[in-house]
Each structure stands twice: as C-alpha cells, then as structure tokens.
Amino acid sequence: MKTLEEVQDIHMESAKVYVDELFEKVQQRNPNEAEFHQAVKEVFESLIPVLAKNPEYIEQSVLDRMVEPERMIIFRVPWVDDQGKTQVNRGFRVQFNSAIGPYKGGLRFHPSVNGSIVKFLGFEQIFKNSLTGQPIGGGKGGSDFDPKGKSDVEIMRFCQSFMAELSKHIGPYTDVPAGDIGVGAREIGYLFGEYKKIRGTFEAGVLTGKAIGYGGSLGRKEATGYGTVYFVDEMLKAQKESFDGSTVVVSGSGNVSIYAMEKATQLGAKVVACSDSSGYIYDENGIDIDLVKQLKEVESKRIHEYVETHPEAVFVANHADIWSVACDIALPCATQNEIDKEAAEQLVANGVKAVGEGANMPSTLDAIDVFLKNNVLFAPAKAANAGGVAVSALEMAQNSARLSWTFEEVDVKLQNIMRDIYQNSMEASVEYGAPGNLVVGANIAGFTKVADAMVSQGVI
Ligand code: NAP
C-alpha cells in the first residue's frame, strides 16, 4: 500500500514525463520557432503540479490542444509606395484559443515579425486574457512591415491592404485586434475605416485602441504602462516597500514605456533612463516625460534628440546597455528578450529590488532564473502588462452598451483588475508549492480557467 506522498510523487513524475514529451513534440512540429518554444517552455514548467493534481487535463489532452492554434492566417499584403512602386509584405493573424471568449490580441508592425513571434505572443495572450477576468480568448497578429520612415499616406495604404484580407477573419464576436509595437491610434484609425468600408456597417467593437471620438475608451492609451506600475506597486506593498523615493529605469519610449514612466513618477519615483532601438538616455534629474511624449507621440523623433533640450542628460548609442544603469526598480517595456542573463546579473549586482515586465517576454529564461535565485521581486509580463488588454475589454463593453465611462471610472476598474491579478497569481503560487513565485502563479491562474472551459466544451 502506497502512502499519499508516494502517490503524489508518482503523479508529479508522470506529469513531468508528459510535459517533456509534449515539449519535444512542440519543437518538432514547429521547427525554427525559438520564441514560441521559449514561451511554451516557461508555461509547461509551471504547470507540472497542476497536471499532477488534475490528471483529467492530461487524459483529455488539454495542453496538447492548447499549444496548437485553432487557426493561423498568413497572407500577402501588397501596397504602393510614394514612388509608385508596388511593395509586398506578409500579414499574420493567429487565432489561438477561443474557449473563454472571442480571440483578442494586438497587431504588431515591425520588420522582425514572423510566425514564431506571432505565435509566442498569441500563446501568452491566452493566459494573460484569462488572468484579467474578462471574457476574451487569445490571438495576435501583425506584419513584417516597417513603419519607420514611411509617409502617412504609405501607412494608410498599407493598413488598407492589410485590412482588405484581415476583415474576412475578424468581427466583434469572433476576433478583436488592437495595437502593439508600431500600431497606435493612427494605424487603428486607418484599419477601422477600411473595415467599415468593406462591411458597410459601423461595428465599433471590432477593434480596440480607437480614438475617443469614434468609440475609444478613456484610459486605454495609459492602461498597459499604468497597469504595470499598479501591479509592481502591489508586489512592493506586500513587502512594505513602495515606488516613493525609488530610482527607476524603463526601457523603450513607446506607448507602454511613456505611461509606465508617468505613473511611476506620480507615485514618487525618479525615472532616470529610457531608450529606443538606437540607444538610451540617462537624466539624473529625472526624465522629462512631457518632452519624451512630444518627441515620440507627436514628432516621431529619435530619443537622442532629448539631450538637445536637456544638455545635462547623456545619450548612449547602445540600447542594451540601459541595464547597466543602477536602479531600485527595472521596468523593461520595449521588446522580447531585451534582458539576458548578463544584464540580469548586472541589475542584481547594482541592487535592483523589483523587475516588472511591461513588454512581452522581455527577460530570457536564464534572466528570470537570476532574478528568482537572488530574491528580486519579479512581475512576469502575462500578469504585469495585462492592464492594456483588460481596458481593451472594457472598451468592448462600452461599445456594446453604447456608453462611455470617465477616465476615473476606467482607472479605478484597472487598479482593481491589477490587484486581483496579483492576488490570484500569489494565491496560485502558494497553493501549488511555489509561494511568491509569480511566474508559476500567473501561469497556473491563467491556465486553469481556460482548461476548465475547454473540458466543459468537449473535444473541439
Ligand atoms: P511602441 O509604442 O511601438 O514602442 C516600442 C518601443 O520599444 C519603442 O521605443 C521602440 O524603439 C522600442 N523597441 C521596439 N523593438 C525594439 C528592439 N528590437 N530593440 C530595442 N528597442 C525596441 O510599442 P508598445 O505598444 O509600447 O509595446 C512595447 C512592448 O509592450 C511590446 O513587447 C508589446 O508587445 C508590449 N505590450 C504592449 C501593449 C499595448 O497596449 N501597447 C500591451 C501589452 C504588451 P524604436 O522606436 O526605436 O523601434
């Protein structure tokens, strides 16, 4: 007769074998997709105790189904540049999982976009969207189109061609895209206009991140950056710490970065550095956020222009070096894998206390190990940057009800959602034997809701 402990050990061992074999299969079926493998590996490792405790998930192949997108659309995007030459880009939309709601996730326009990037983002989105507590499934899309250096009219022509195909696959009850890197309110406007023209109806809920005048939500622009800071603030408060008086470094200077800097500053922190892909600026007096907004949101300029107004600040022409700047709190808000093992070790050596991921998968698996082993408070992207998609779901709710909430109403809802995500992730980490490990906690809390919905809905 086996003891309870021996039975639990056997279940853990068989869950581990199952996960290892499935991960091998994922690698074989999706060759050359390093980013997708990385995102899957992180989730799989967290789920072993859940699968051991709930063998029906293995029996019903829930995870096998979850790593296979329900649908992936790849399409040609031809458009005519200002010289009259026809250009061709590739468009993607991955509709990963619709167990708890219509597919939801942003569109990224960046030359690095490929199938692996879109799949890693779409896979992460399943768990993130579940964590928000809103009824939204996981999806993501984009194109290898590079908006840098393009005229406004070229951007419009590209967006119209992209939507000519995408419109066949989306809708307020099927798939609701939003922005991401390279896609802001301007691009969403062109995409929405083309969708409306093709369909002949005004379906506000088909896209989120719209401008306020035609169905956008107050607070959506700020949501991801503010949400990341709210989440980190919860993490700090649990340790009787706060942003007040701390030194903060934020990578990037786009949508997420700007509003993370703004909220951290409002909470009493001094943000001393931010970046773009050309390098970073260091301002020991604290970054002038209004100037960054002017340079980036209004004038589309490079970050080095900052030092022309603030000659006391320094520009360093290497964006990766931003992690050598000493800080109490690091908020990576630019792109995937921007913090590797060496950068993480440097941050730890400089005394970093907390890291909050505003970008998607900005830390490599090795970097996360360094943070966790050194007891750095670590807020993983799925949980920490879920505020953007959460407010997108609030935008959908307002569109359905044909009403508009005030900024304050949205902001309070956002704060409550981020607090709930923190608490649910923390509770899951405790329940499954990894107290305080929010990577494990967020993955588990996001997974179980989707897994249970898939089981309820049968094999589809
Ligand atoms: P964004 O407004 O386009 O800004 C991106 C920023 O990151 C820019 O400063 C950009 O610099 C920099 N960057 C991009 N690729 C880079 C690279 N390969 N190396 C160095 N720097 C790079 O985009 P965003 O919306 O803020 O998104 C930033 C991150 O947050 C992404 O990981 C995105 O998936 C994630 N996220 C966004 C939202 C949202 O609501 N927007 C929600 C959840 C997660 P350059 O201008 O020089 O390229």
Look up the pTM and report it. Answer: 0.97
User: Could you give the residue ranges of the DSSP H alpha helices within 132-203?
Assistant: 152-166, 185-199
One-letter amino acid at 178 equals A
- According to DSSP, the β-strands at 279-282 and 314-316 are antiparallel
Count how many residues are written for the chain: 460
CA distance 230 to 75: 38
Whole-number pLDDT of residue 421:
98
71-202 and 222-384: identical CATH topology: yes
Contact 136, 109 (CB under 8 A): no
Note if 140 is an active site residue.
yes
CA distance 322 to 299: 23
Task: Compute, in angstroms, the gap from residue 333 CA to the centroid of ligand 1.
Answer: 6
List C-alpha distances in Å: 381 to 416, 433, 446: 18, 21, 12
Provide the residue ranges of all domains of the chain, joining segments of one domain with +: 4-67, 71-202, 222-384
Sign of the dihedral defined by the CA atoms of residues 224, 227, 233, 235, in that order: negative
DSSP string covering 253-279: -SHHHHHHHHHHHHTT-EEEEEEETTE
Q: Give strand pairing partners of 107.
A: 141
What distance lies between CA 406 and its chain's CA centroid?
Answer: 25
For 238, the 3-state DSSP assignment is: coil
Residue to substitute in 144, 181, 258 for testing ligand 1 pocket (most ligand atoms within 8 angstroms of CB):
181
Residues 6 or more apart from 453 whose CB is under 8 A from it? 99, 100
Contact 318, 341 (CB under 8 A): no
Active-site residue (options: 104, 119, 128, 140): 140
CATH 1.10.760.10 fits 222-384, yes or no: no
Whole-number pLDDT of residue 5:
85
Residues 6 or more apart from 282 whose CB is under 8 A from it? 272, 273, 313, 314, 316, 325
Residue to substitute in 128, 261, 335 for testing ligand 1 pocket (most ligand atoms within 8 angstroms of CB):
335
pLDDT tens digits for 333-356? 999 999 999 999 999 999 999 999
Rounded-to-10 torsion of CA 380, 251, 176, 161: -150
Burial class (CB in 10 A: 0-12, 13-18, 19+), 317: exposed
CA distance 68 to 62: 10
Ligand 1: residues with CB < 6 A are 179-182, 224, 252-257, 276-278, 319, 333-335, 358-360, 385, 388
Taking Cα atoms as reference points, which of 404, 395, 386 lies closest to residue 209?
395
- Phi and psi at residue 417, to the nearest 5°: -65, -45
Q: Which atom of ligand 1 is nearest to the CA of 362?
A: 32
The top-level CATH class assigned to 71-202 is alpha beta
CA distance 43 to 442: 9
Contact 150, 182 (CB under 8 A): no
- According to DSSP, the β-strands at 86-97 and 71-80 are antiparallel
Q: Which atom of ligand 1 is nearest to the CA of 320?
A: 20
Whole-number pLDDT of residue 155:
98
pLDDT tens digits in sequence order for the chain, 460 residues long: 788 888 888 999 999 999 999 999 999 999 999 999 999 999 999 999 999 999 999 999 999 999 999 999 999 999 999 999 999 999 999 999 999 999 999 999 999 999 999 999 999 999 999 999 999 999 999 999 999 999 999 999 999 999 999 999 999 999 999 999 999 999 999 999 999 999 999 999 999 999 999 999 999 999 999 999 999 999 999 999 999 999 999 999 999 999 999 999 999 999 999 999 999 999 999 999 999 999 999 999 999 999 999 999 999 999 999 999 999 999 999 999 999 999 999 999 999 999 999 999 999 999 999 999 999 999 999 999 999 999 999 999 999 999 999 999 999 999 999 999 999 999 999 999 999 999 999 999 999 999 999 999 999 8
